[in-house]
Amino acid sequence: MSDASRFVRACRRQPVDATPVWFMRQAGRYLPQYRAVRERHGLLEICKTPALAAEVTVTAVEALGVDAAIIFADLLLPVEPMGMRLRFVKGEGPVLDEPLRTAEAVARLRSDAAAELGYVAESIRLAAQQLGGRVPVIGFSGAPFTLASYMVEGGSSRDFLYTKSLMWRAPEAWAGLMEKICSVLEPYLLSQVEAGAAAVQLFDSWVGCLSEPDYRRYALPYTRRLVQALEARGTPVIHFATGATGLLRAMQEAGASVLGVDWRIPLGRAWEEVGFAPAIQGNLDPAALFAPQDELRFHVEAVQREAAGRPGHIFNLGHGILPETPVENVRAVVEWVHELTSQGQG
């Protein structure tokens, strides 16, 4: 075995001493250490203050015993220097004022905005330093479709009617928007790698609203461009979506080392869908962390059974940790996954 971490080895489908485990949004509101920082600082303030972002990133790793740190940031950060105002509204989540609905609005967006996101790379540098190589740091961003749909809807959406209307009524404006987003994301993600990120995750949280023909026309080419820029430099990309079971075969064509899937498809079925080619990350239902421990253990074992014998499994949730999640259950999952998958224990 090389001295690469368990996590990076799993991304590359190399043998591991135990299945690596981390959690999306592991440095979040359910964690008392995070809430203590959050009492004194706003969400965007933490993102933009590398010392704070690194602190909450590293604290979560220490509290949980996970195999990777995901940098504390927000998937929407790139929209700000592109020219939109980003706010977080209690109970509603992110809100973008003056959503994009026209070709003119797209034309006004800045595409040279990556330089203003340097604070994320700096946070990664600090976090990697503080972790001293014990576990790798994962960088991330929203994927182009998910960023575009936030920008067009102005917040969360049920039907994505404005997004789809722009795609279908003004395909050139849509292409222009996706190009600009890529022009920001490519240097942004590469700067994260240069700062020490061992892998990056693209969150395509909303892409599951598209049919496969639309995904292929309006989303896949842009995601592929980003994935390939990163993979070409040897950085594994985790390509994650939710509610996108029907898109897995098309998503795989973007070429990421790892596909992240939610609990809506058994892992074995996900591998089958993509011809057993990439590594797969997932896929515990985040709600299961609220279950009594025997029921939680049932769910963890069900995920493990689906992954048994497959090279390249990274244990994670199928979505971010929910706010009221009991910390002791998160810790228990880490221990169980390591125990169930350690060499010699089958």
Question: Considering the complex, what minimum distance in angstroms separates the CB of residue 238 from a second copy?
Answer: 19
Choose the catalytic residue: 30, 34, 150, 188.
Answer: 150
- Rounded distance, CA 38 to CA 64, Å? 19
Whole-angstrom Cα distance, residue 191 to residue 301? 38
State how far Cα 132 lies from the chain centre. Answer: 23
Which residue lies nearer to a second copy by CB, 264 or 310? 264
Strand 197-204 to strand 137-142: parallel, antiparallel, or no bridges (unpaired)?
A: parallel
Chain positions 320 to 339 lying near a second copy, rule: CB under 8 A, are: 322
How many residues comprise the chain?
346
Interface with a second copy, residue 38, by CB under 8 A:
no
Nearer to a second copy, 67 or 285 (CB): 285
Which one, 138 or 251, has the nearer CB to a second copy?
251
As a whole number of angstroms, the distance between CA 56 and CA 274 comes to: 35
Question: Quick check: 245 binds a second copy (CB under 8 A)?
Answer: yes
Is residue 137 within 8 A of residue 68, CB to CB? The reply is: yes
d(CA 106, CA 166): 11
- Contact assessment for residue 293 and residue 332, using Cβ atoms and an 8 Å cutoff: yes
Closest to a second copy by CB, 5 or 283: 283
Q: Is residue 115 involved in binding a second copy (CB under 8 A)?
A: no
Is residue 271 within the footprint of a second copy (CB under 8 A)?
A: no
Its sign, for the CA torsion 211, 254, 142, 163, is: negative
Member of 80, 194, 214, 231 binding a second copy (CB under 8 A):
214
CB of 66 to a second copy, least distance (A): 22
Which residues are the active-site residues? Answer: 25, 29, 38, 74, 150
Name the site residues for a second copy (rule: CB under 8 A). Answer: 159-161, 164-165, 168-169, 208, 211-214, 243-247, 263-266, 269, 285-288, 290-292, 295, 298-299, 302, 322
